[in-house]
Amino acid sequence: MWAAVVLACLAGVEVERVVALVNGVAVLQSDVELAMAAQLVPRQEGEGEGAYRKAVAEALVQLELRWQDLESSGAATQLHPDLPAAWAKVVRAAGGETELAQRLTALGLPEALLRELVRRAAVVETYVAHRFAPFARVSEEEIEKFWQGELAPQLRARGEAVPALEAVHSTVEAILRERKLASEVASWTAELEARGEVVRYF
């Protein structure tokens, strides 16, 4: 790959910027632009353009690590996510089909590239749900501790009314479950990176 890049430079051809290498596979600037245009990565409140761009690049690095693992194990071909639903979610987040099409046109990128990115993300999400969800179960003791030690004090500090735990039990349970799931995925991804080679240019 790098020989082609050098030859292109010598020939005066503009070469697209590589933002990261994941086990030799390039994550390109156009990948970042594509993910940003489709809002594949939620933007945090008050997050600046530079910080958001970096967050998107990191998310793509992590997606590539996970995708490579599923491909090498053969799991990628055995999982069957609901791709129409995944695509519809992206279209909604982007503001509709017309808005998304306009953004892609402005970038000069085909919809097929975005669909492939969405497909990979959907496959990974399906794997995570099957593989790690059993480890994200939450006990009543954990719910009580989390509510009394973290969430309720936050509400009091903001001067808000603190409801009875019974009234928000399902919400608290969902938050804890999501945290546990995120922790499992982070551990899996860190292990993949430790076994592989990731070079970041951002």
**What pTM does this model have?**
0.84
Predicted confidence at residue 27, as pLDDT, reads 98
Using the predicted structure, report yes or no on whether residue 2 has a pLDDT greater than 60.
Answer: no
Instruction: Give me the pLDDT at residue 15, please.
Output: 64
- Supply the pLDDT for residue 169: 96
What sign does the CA torsion over 42, 48, 51, 52 have?
A: positive
> What confidence score (pLDDT) does residue 135 get?
86
The answer regarding whether domain 1-111 maps to CATH 3.30.70 reads no
pLDDT at 3 over 80: no
User: Domain extents for the chain?
Assistant: 1-111
Predicted confidence (pLDDT) per residue in 78-136, tens digit: 999 999 999 999 999 999 999 999 999 999 999 999 999 999 999 999 999 999 988 89
Give per-residue pLDDT as tens, 17-29: 999 999 999 999 9
- Nearest-angstrom CA–CA distance, 35 and 44: 15
The 3 state secondary structure assigned to the chain is: CHHHHHHHHHCCCCCCCEEEEECCEEEEHHHHHHHHHCCCCCCCCCCCHHHHHHHHHHHHHHHHHHHHHHHHHCHHHCCCCCHHHHHHHHHHHHCCHHHHHHHHHHHCCCHHHHHHHHHHHHHHHHHHHHHCHHHHCCCHHHHHHHHHHHHHHHHHHCCCCCCCHHHHHHHHHHHHHHHHHHHHHHHHHHHHHHHCCEEECC
